[in-house]
Amino acid sequence: MGRGLDEPSAFATMDEAVGLGITLFDTAERYAGGASEIVIGRWLVKRDSAVSDRVRLATKVAPPDVTGSGSRFDAALLEEKFSGSLQRLGVDTVEFLLTHAPDEGTPIEETLEGLEAIRASGRCRYVGACNVDAGQLTAALDAAERLGISGYQVVQNGYSLLEPHDDRAVRSICAGRGLAFTPFSPLAGGALTAKYLRGVTPPPDSRMALRPDGVDELLTPAVYDAIDRLRSDAEHRHGVECGALALAWLLHHRDVTAVVTGPSRRSPHLELAAQAADVVLSDADFAEIESWFASPGVQGVVTTHSADPTTPTEAADGSN
C-alpha cells in the first residue's frame, strides 16, 4: 500500500529472504494488478537453480463479487484465474493456492471442488482460505468431509498484538482440525514499528495515512501507551527494534504456524524479520507483552486488515 517497492528493491528483498532462509513467497493475482506475480516470476528466471529450486510460492485468487464479473466462484473461474497466476509467475506449480475471500453468492461446495480439481492435477500442493470467520471455516470443512475431499489445509487471516481477539475461534478450529494458521499484517499496518508518533500526522503516502478507517480511530492514547512499552522492552531487554519484538511475539504464539511478514522500504528490507528470528521469549515474556495490549482501550479499537483483496497490501511477503 502506498508507494510499494520498485523492481530492483523487490529483487533485493527476495535475495535477502533467501539469505535468511525464507523460501516461501506469498503473493496474489490482484496485488498491484498482477505485477507482484510478474516480478516474482522475473526474479526466479534471473536466479540460478540453486536458488530458484528452493523457493516455494503461495498465491491467491479473488472471488467474483470483488471483480464484479457476476460469475460463480466455481471450478471454471478458479481454473481461469489460477492459470493466469501460473503464467505470470512463470511456473507450473505452486505450494499453496488460497481463496482471497469467501464468496457468499456461491455454494462453498462448488469452490471446494474447483480447488480440489487443481490440487489433484498436481499444480498446487495445498489449498486454503483467507479472511474467513469461524462460521465460514466450519461450513467449508464440514462440506469437504461430505464431499470426501481434503478441503482447506491452511488459513490466512490478519492477526497481531493489535488485532482484536475475534479470530480466537478461527485459531481454535485450525488447532483442533489440523490446519496451518499463517497470520498476515503482523505489524498492524506499521503501527507496531512505533514509527507513528503521538500528535504527528503520518506522511501522506504512508500505510497509516491511506487506511480507510482513519488514524484518529486507530491510534488511541491506550494504543500509544502499549506501543511505548513494547518499544522500551524491545530496546532495553532484547536489543531489537519494536517491530521485531512484535514479530517475535507472533513467532512464539502456539496458534501460529508461520508469520506472513512484509518488507520495509528501507534496506535491508527484511531487517525486522532477521532480528525477530533471534529473539527468545519465555512463556512469561509472551504473557507480559500480551497483557500490555489486552486492555479495553486497546482491543476492540484496532482493525489490522480488510477482507477486500483489491488492495495490494503484500509484497513477496505479504501483509494481507
Q: Please give the mean pLDDT across all residues of the chain.
A: 87
| H helices present in the chain, as ranges | 7-20, 35-46, 49-52, 64-67, 75-89, 108-120, 134-147, 168-177, 207-210, 215-218, 221-233, 242-252, 271-277, 283-292
Residue pair 265/5 in contact (Cβ under 8 Å)? The answer is yes
pLDDT of 190 reads 87
Distance CA 298, CA 191 (A): 13
Q: How far apart are CA 319 and CA 259, in angstroms?
A: 10
Q: Which of 21-25, 62-66, 90-94, 221-225 is least confident? A: 62-66
- State how far the Cα of 168 lies from the Cα of 52, in Å rounded to an integer: 36
pLDDT at residue 214 tops 60:
no
**Is residue 212 predicted with pLDDT exceeding 90?**
no
Which CATH homologous superfamily contains domain 1-157+307-320?
A: NADP-dependent oxidoreductase domain (3.20.20.100)
pLDDT, one tens digit per residue, over 153-209 is 999 999 999 876 667 999 999 999 999 999 999 998 888 999 888 878 777 766 666
Classified as helix, coil or strand, 217 is helix
pLDDT of residue 285: 97
Residue with the larger pLDDT of the pair 4 and 145: 145
